[in-house]
Amino acid sequence: MQKYDETQIQVLEGLEAVRKRPGMYIGSTGPKGLHHLVYEIVDNAIDEALAGYCTDIGVRLLPGEIVEVSDNGRGIPVGIHPTEGISAATVVYTVLHAGGKFGGGGYKHAGGLHGVGSSVVNALSEYLELTVFDGEHEWYQKFERGNYSEPIKIVGDSSKRGTTVRFKADPEIFKESDVYDYETLLLRLREEAFLNAGLTITYSDERDPNEDFEIVKLKYDGGIRQFVEHIHTVRGLTPLCENVIYVSGVEGDSSCEVALMWNDSYNEVVMSFANNVYTPDGGTHEVGFKNALTRAVNDYGKKFNFLKADEKYAGEDIREGLTAIVSVKLSDCEFEGQTKGRLGNPEVKPFVDKLVFEKIGIFLEEHPEEAARISEKCIAAKSAREAAKKAREAARKKSQMESMSLPGKLADCTEHDLDYSELYIVEGDSAGGSAKQGRDRKFQAILSLWGKMLNVEKARLDRVYGNEKLMPIVAALGTSIGEDFDLAKLRYGKVIIMADADVDGSHIRTLLLTFFFRFMRPLIDEGHIWLAQPPLFKVSRGKKQRYAFSDEERDMYIAELTAEGGKCDVQRYKGLGEMDPDQLWETTMDPERRTMVKVGIDDAFKADETITILMGDKVAPRRDFIVKNAKYVSNLDI
């Protein structure tokens, strides 16, 4: 037995714990965690704006992937801390759970309530430079991987006030990549500007010294009203009402504002924030809003005879085609985890519920024409939901009556251990035939699809049930869809989309991913959806052959096989059906040699937006998206 005693118990001092387990503090050391560093520093500046002392924030991306965040707030206090014996500014950047947001009177509302943001960024930076302006002097201190050799010192006189932080993420921590994505940061900064009406955020990408850079100024005096309008504009959605509905109220130290508008789509977008921190997993504020909205619209429907006495809308009926922003400001936010995904304050739910119920009820009665359009939208959604329920029940009865409930095009595997079992979804009988012959029958199942697939972005759930292209997938997986989805019934650990390496194959992949995202989202969230990567070329000379997955790899193999003279044959695969079973197994299905891509979601809101733009029926937003992103395209098949 290996020795285990008191000498093996480690105590991590200072910021060592952060560097040892960075994922505990920023979620991951991938791109999401990298960008989280910027959010933490920006959130500190936003807190100064919430406190009423900051009107301008600047964010610059500098050469070498250096980030600079500046504000014109009060400036971090630089005096000697009474218990730590060093400057308070140094304490903030070197001591976990140190800050001015624990009830000391510095902030009434703040997003950074755990006191670890600044120190975590410092710990995970190769270096960080802190400059503080206190109205009389300019103070400066430099840190390297969380440590400092000199105390903060005066480097000049200045009448300015504010704080500037310049840092470079540590490549020893962020090994995957330390490159910031311009659009990802722009999205977050725009959100912050919408949530703080009148605040100016200036953003610039100055990383390439050989290129002129654009300075983007984000300022929205209309606040979250403009946020809703922006979402509709970007997605190309047509609003049902002339103006955004706006609700606001105050109770003690808490405040709430809600902006909402219905549109012509079938999807809901509800974004909630607490002290400007996005809560993608919702929480008590979002629950209060949804409950109140459901009650208010139902009460109006019964009062004005849109509903019979025994009828009511479900919450999902009312939220079909709804875009809403819910923003609360609290003196003491209770978030779940440092990444603050969900709000837990129990007192927020009744506050938001009461406010929204009263104000939405008043709006509906004072705007009968708009209320009628909203009611008609809810009625249509209710009818579609009831039709989907009937279709679902009919599908269940059909499955019970049939001797085989699994689809006829499914070639199943013999074992269904989720750690090993795989379902390959392929298009066409030719590709399906090769896959069935080339697979390992023990753990690999094949489901062949054929014909044009339904674009579910343009369809409600009632059209999905009974669809001959989609229901075989649902039956094979065993999970059902929509509100009946049950991940525990999943029959395969990996669901692998294997499509041709051409335009049609890309279209099929996109349609399937849209379906999974809209109706079987947990499959993506839990990492069950994969994309097979079939080769693009076969390069051969005599008995030697190589499979290339890119143009560069093809050229490399051509050079390799022709090094001793002679020519080689290059075959461009346009479809999986062109491969014989052995080739398909060797290149695309053998777990020892294949390459696959796991489908995941870094930003659910951005994913939702992209699907709406690309798969919706509005041409203009899709054209703008393609023009904007054309420079990133590779392997274009024309």
Active site residues: 427, 500, 502, 504
Q: Which of 47, 30, 234 is nearest to 22 (CA)?
A: 30
Contact 517, 482 (CB under 8 A): no
Separation of alpha carbons 68 and 168, rounded Å: 9
In the numeric block, the tokens 């009263």 are attached to 358
What separation in angstroms does the CA of 298 have from each of 116, 357, 368? 44, 11, 15
Beta bridge partners of 71: 57, 163
Q: Which of 194, 200, 321 is nearest to 246 (CA)?
A: 194
Q: E strands of 450-543, at which residues?
A: 494-498, 529-532, 537-541
Amino acid (1-letter code) at residue 578: E
Helix H, strand E, coil C: the string for 148-210 is CCCCCEEEEECCCEEEEEEEEECCCCCCCCCCCCHHHHHHHHHHHHHHCCCCEEEEEECCCCC
CA atoms within 13 A of residue 548's CA, in its CB half-sphere: 22
Q: Which of 259, 223, 255, 232 is nearest to 244 (CA)?
A: 259
Separation of alpha carbons 578 and 552, rounded Å: 22
In the numeric block, the tokens 């298009």 are attached to 427
Q: E strands of 86-169, at which residues?
A: 125-134, 137-143, 153-157, 161-169
CA atoms within 13 A of residue 431's CA, in its CB half-sphere: 23
Amino acid (1-letter code) at residue 598: K
Positive or negative, the CA dihedral 517, 500, 424, 587 is negative
Q: Please state, as a whole number, how many other Cβ atoms lie within 10 Å of the Cβ of residue 567.
A: 9
Contact 330, 351 (CB under 8 A): no
Contact 472, 454 (CB under 8 A): no
Contact 422, 531 (CB under 8 A): no
Contact 400, 336 (CB under 8 A): no
Q: Which of 488, 489, 450 is nearest to 470 (CA)?
A: 450
Positive or negative, the CA dihedral 85, 90, 94, 95 is positive
Burial pattern 373-402, b for ≥16 Cβ within 10 A else e, equals ebbebbbebbebbeebbebbeebeeeeeee
Torsion, Cα of 498, 501, 506, 510 (10° steps)? 20
Amino acid (1-letter code) at residue 153: K
Q: E strands of 245-378, at which residues?
A: 245-251, 254-262, 269-274, 277-278, 322-329
Contact 267, 608 (CB under 8 A): yes
* Strand-strand pairing, 254-262 and 215-218: unpaired
Q: Which of 304, 279, 451 is nearest to 368 (CA)?
A: 304
